[in-house]
Amino acid sequence: MFTIRCPYCGERDQSEFSNGGEAHVTRPKDPEQISDREWSEYVFIRANPKGIYYERWVHTHGCKKWFNAVRNTSTDEILKVYKIGETPPPLKEFKNTIKTPSGEPDVGSGNFSVKKP
C-alpha cells in the first residue's frame, strides 16, 4: 500500500486508484491500414518491465480523472505524476533506482535479505 499524488486532488491512498497499464501506447490512427501483427501489438503486447515504467492511473474513488505516472515497479516508488497530454519525462531522469536495495536481479524475485558480501 502506497500513496499516489493525484494531479487534480493531491496525495491520496492507493486504494482510491486503479491501475490502467502501460501509458503512451498510442492507438493506431488508421487501424484498417496496418497488419494483424501491428494491430495485435497495440492490443495485447505491453512491456511490463522490472524497473521504471510509464503507467496510466485513474482516481476511481475520487475525481475519476485519468493521469500518467512514472513508477519503479520493483520498489513501488511513484517518481512522477503528470496529466494526460503532458510530455512524458525522459526515463534517464530517474536512473539508478531500478534495483531494490537488496540488489535483486533485474528479472524475477528472490530472497536477498542479507547483504551480499
Partner 1 sequence: MTESKIYFKFDGKKYAGNEGDTIAAALLRNNVRLIGRSFKYHRPRGIYTCGIEEPNALVQIINEHNEPNVRATVKKIYEGMIVKSQNRWPSLKTDLGSINNILSPIFSAGFYYKTFMGPKGFWKNVYEPLIRRTAGLGKPPKEFKSKSIHQHHNVDVIIVGGGLSGLLAARKFAGTNYDVLLVEREDAFGGILKNANKIKSINDQPTDEWLEKTERLIRNSNNIKILKNTLVTTYNFSDHLIALEDKNVGKPQDNEKPELVLHKIRTKHTILANGHIERFITFRNNDLPGVMLAASFEKYLNRYSVVPDESPVIFTNNSSTFSLLKSLTDLGHRPKAYVDIRDQKNIEKETLELLEKFSIPFYPKSEVEGCEGQKEVKKVSIRTKKNKISKIKTSMLCVSGGFNPDIHLFTQSKGLLKWDKDHLTFKPDRIFQKTITLGSVSGNFSYEKLLVEVEKKLSEFEGLNELEVKFELNGSEKFQIKELWETKHEKKSIWSKSFIDLQNDVTTKDLRQAVNEGFNRIEHLKRFTTNSMGTDQGKISSINALGIVSKILKKDISEVGTTTYRPPYSPVNFSAIAGRSTYEFYDPERKTPLHSWHVKQNAVFENVGQWKRPWYFKKSEDETMHQAVQREAEQVRKTAGILDGSTLGKIEIKGKDALTFVNLMYTNSFTKMKPKTGRYALMLGEDGMVKDDGIVCKINDQHFIVTTTTGNAASVLAHMEEYSQTEWPNLNVYMNSITEQFATFNLSGPKSRVIMSRVFNDIDFSNDQFPFMSFNNFKYLDTEIRILRASFTGELGYEIYVPPSHALKLWQRFFISSRDFDLVPYGTETMHLLRAEKGYIIVGQDTDGTVTPLDLNLNWMIGKKKKDFIGKRSLTRTDIVRENRKQLVGLVPVDKTLGIEEGQHVIEHKDLSLPIKDPVDMLGHVTSSYFSPNLNHSVAMALIRGGKRKIGSRLFVSTENLNTIAVEVVEPNFIDPKNERMML
Q: Please report, as ranges, the residues that interact with partner 1 according to CB under 8 A.
A: 1-3, 20, 27-28, 31-32, 34, 36, 39-40, 42-44, 56, 58, 60, 64-66, 75-77, 84-85, 100-102, 111-115, 117
Residue number, 92 or 114, with CB nearest to partner 1: 114
Burial class (CB in 10 A: 0-12, 13-18, 19+), 69: buried
Cβ–Cβ under 8 Å, residues 81 and 4: yes
CB 22, min distance to partner 1, A = 12
Instruction: Compute how many other C-beta atoms are within 10 angstroms of the C-beta atom of residue 54.
Output: 18
**Which residue number, 92 or 101, has a Cβ lying nearer to partner 1?**
101
Nearest distance from residue 95's CB to partner 1, in Å?
A: 18
**In whole angstroms, what is the distance from residue 20 CA to residue 6 CA?**
14
